[in-house]
Structure 1
Amino acid sequence: MIRRSVGTLPRKWLAAITLLAGLSAALAVAVAAPSPDWTFAALAGPVQSAMSVAVPFFGVLMVGDLRRAPCPVRAVPTLLGALSVAAVAGVFGALICAAMLAVSATDTAHAPWSHVGTIAAGGVLVQMTAQLVGTGLGLLLRPPVVAFLATVVLPMGLWAVLGAVEVLRPARGWLTPYPSVQNLLSGPMAPLMWAQWFAVLLIWGAGLNSLGVALLKRRNSDDNSPQIPANNSAH
């Protein structure tokens, strides 16, 4: 499934760019902060966030295959393939962070491996959530470049707009992915944080993809409906 998901040349390039983004973020942290300040959480935030920008592009490209697929549309295998790619990206990010900490081998950092399992699992959830944003917008928007831009502009734009109005700022945690990314990569999640992430998943994951699949099925139904010839008989 993973091999098919990245089987084309553009997707291979995208995979390389995604992994390079994670490595670059880790190196940036290494340069900016001395090794005593390195912790798994401090590394995971920049690494997973950098990769989550590119991961949704896979989803956009993969759901494009559904438009060329024969009817009836079977979206579930494509969505599962996209989620598998996202999970691999999340695991790769966790391995980068673990390798950086292992190489530093310092005893002066305060609990560098604290909550490592929770944060690693959170990184996978971050990438899978980002991927569902990509598949959802890829189903709803054409061409792919427009969907690429939308995966960045729409979530962050909404986050900025809500933040500009003081009374609406608390809603950002429930309506935009960015606060959930920060929570998932910070360590243990309180029940309220899980509720906020679930709300975000319903909106940006289940909501967008359900709407996109319904729209795609409607388009395919219209394209394959029998055409009634015009009556050109003379009267």
Structure 2
Amino acid sequence: MTLRSPAADPHVLVVEDEPRMRDVLLRALEGWGFSASAARTGEEALRMMHFEPRAIVILDLNLPGMDGMECFEQIRQRWPQTQVIILTGFGDLEAARKAIHLDVVEFLTKPCHLGELETALSRARKRLSEILPEAPEPFEEEDEQQPPEPPPPAGPSATLEEIERQHILATLARNRGNRAATAAELGISLRTLYYRLSEYEKQGFRID
């Protein structure tokens, strides 16, 4: 089953075991014009996704039963078009690196301003608008993608986006600007690499 076109507001699935936080997120999403539903555990989230894949998932990592990172891995394998935002009070650099490998939209830690979440949702919608019109059926590219090597160590003040950018640009330089070789080494599609590079150019970074 494939995702619906993002022309309409995409459906968001909130995976959060704390009732108060779930309610806050659902109210905020409805206020921003999204349709939204919620799951308390990773297992429940996967069951809901099986019957109706969601375009965007907001995922806590510290969940009862299946942990959030395992849930993320299964979502990425089974529904590669789904955009995942991590919002958690349980996060470290290693978790951030794993999330980068799985192409997370944003890694947010609690407490988080709703404005930060709204910005992450805007990024997710932009990705969907780029990906879904040309997206292959699920599993079509699964055999071609391998998890990339971990990014180089970064200082404690580095953000997830900075770590990802440094890793991608270093890999591109190592491959002397060869986009196809860079995408293969990173374990991402060529389309995803071009999207990332275009974003970096808009931010003022020189891309050879």
TM-score, structure 1 length as denominator? 0.28
Greater relative contact order: 1 or 2 (C-alpha under 8 angstroms, separation 6 or more)? 1
TM-score, structure 2 length as denominator? 0.31
Q: More helix by proportion, 1 or 2?
A: 1
